[in-house]
Structure 1
Amino acid sequence: MTKINQTEDSPARVLGHPLFRGAPPAIARLLLRDAALLHVEDGTALFREGEDALEYLYVLSGGIEVLRHTQDGQERVFHIFRVGQVLAETAMFMTHERYPMHARAHGDAIVVCLKRAGLQAACRAWPELSMRLLTRLSDRVYRRVNQVEWFSDSTAAQRLADYLLRLRPGEEMAVRLPLTQRQLATHLGVRAETLSRLLADWVAQGRITGARRDWILCDPAFLDDLAQPVRRSF
């Protein structure tokens, strides 16, 4: 990791995030106090599970993935945060004061490192920020509850179909997997062999074409029909 001169890019861009938008000047100063810009190369760890949670991050360029390791040593990637997103802000309020996951660069990235003390002080001084964080956390809990239900009620084929469709940029047919196929299998809760067989079957049926990370969805209607029964309406 390399610190960047703040004249190259400004931590103040953080204030455009929905959490912080409209913050009074005094609150903005609290949020940005001791902020640092870092350049991180692909695969570089920003923090590890169990380390003291002293900073949260705002992504200026590139991506940051958060993950855990399963008991058999596989990587379970939970999410990849992109430009303009904040991560690890909820860890700043956990009673154990430790990061619950690993975070590392997904490709080269530039991030703003923001301090736990500043965020907590800003919440005490500006109740609107506390309400926004509470709403954000509530929505996240709701999504996780739905995800647990989705995993228990869906088949491997339904999970894969839904995942591929969510990667589509608009109505385009081409998608690029952000994960390796082994990582994707762990993310979807299926065996790597099952994922490989599903992809091969759909290629043989003409539903998709491609290999490794690059695919074309030749029959998105088929995938949508497959995934629809396990999707919630809200």
Structure 2
Amino acid sequence: MRDDPPLVLGHSLFQGASPAAVNLLLRDAASLHVESGDFLFHEGDEALEYLYVRSGEIEVLRHAREGQERMFHRFVAGELLAETAMFMSHGRYPMDARAHTDAVVLCLKRDGLLAACAAWPELSLRLLTRLSDRVYQRVNEVEWLSDSTAAQRLADYLLGLSAGPDHQVQLPLTQRQLAAQLGIRAETLSRLLADWVAQGHIVGGRRDWVLLDPAFLEGLARPARRDF
């Protein structure tokens, strides 16, 4: 645990924290080692801690009524997760958190965060900005899901993952999970990928793809995007 405090305090949320705030933030903090597939908390559990990812990857997800998983985000080393849950009036986690890989996290206490906000008002302002940005992002996502086509959403998603001059893409989700995240049927996702392969726009299979014609995908995705 000795190396944890400098790492978490280097996060943009905590940079420049006063000594009093530092003591409150790190009070009773503890490292936790988890294996791939382990759950760190479940939806509905009392939200007493938020997490700083030291290594590995942690995903947050929900299960739909029909049992289908919807993965909302995957957190990597250097990121905080569940800090917003510390301020929810019901005091419970709104999602599950599961280790996607073996991981090490630093568990930080809700009471310490709330006390640090009172002792260091700048932290409250940073959290308010963080929360406001997330609300705005979610509003845009709702509009995007309702106003865009399945092809536009898939094209935009693939372009967002494209890396390197060869435009290689590795999907972090199964195709069924990806379909749920994009709000489309799994059969529709499979058909779009197959059509784009047949037309020479992409090549690959399962989770590994190469965008042969990114201009085609950009032409699809651009009309559905907002300027800010």
Aligned to 2:66: 72
1:107 Cα offset (Å): 1.2
Deviations 1:190-228, CA, capped at 9 Å, x for gaps: 111000001101111111111111111111111111000
The answer (yes or no) to whether the contact 2:46–2:93 under 8 Å persists in 1 is yes
Indicate if the aligned counterparts of 1:208 and 1:219 stay in contact, CA closer than 8 A.
Answer: yes
Mind listing any 5+ residue stretches in structure 1 that lack a counterpart? Answer: 1-5
Cα distance, 1:11 vs structure 2: 3.2
Counterpart residue number, 1:40: 34
Aligned residue pairs, count: 228
Contact 1:39 1:110 (8 Å CA) reproduced? yes
Look up the match of 2:25.
Answer: 31
Is it true that 1:227 corresponds to 2:216 in the alignment?
no
Q: Give the Cα separation in 2 of the matches to 1:164 and 1:227.
A: 10
Q: Structure 1 residue aligned with 2:140, among 146, 163, 170?
A: 146
Q: CA deviation at 1:170?
A: 5.2
Q: In the alignment, does 2:9 pair up with 1:15?
A: yes
- Determine if contact 1:76/1:187 at 8 Å carries over to the other structure: yes
Identical residues among aligned pairs (%): 72
- CA drift of 1:172 comes to 4.4
Task: Tell me the equivalent position of 1:217.
Answer: 211
Q: Which runs of structure 2 are paired with 1:155-194 in the superposition (5 Å)?
A: 155-169=149-163, 171-194=165-188
> For residues 169 and 141 of structure 1, what CA distance do their matches in structure 2 show?
28
Secondary structure at the counterpart of residue 72 of structure 1: coil
Amino acid of the structure 2 residue aligned with 1:148: V
Where does structure 2 lack aligned partners over 5 or more consecutive residues? none
What TM-score results when the alignment is normalised by the length of structure 1? Answer: 0.95
CA contact (8 A) 2:161 2:169 kept: yes
TM-score by length of 2: 0.98
* Residues 62, 70 of structure 2: 8 Å contact kept: yes
RMSD between aligned residues: 1.0
My pick for the range that moved more, 117-126 or 162-171, is 162-171
1:100 corresponds in structure 2 to: 94
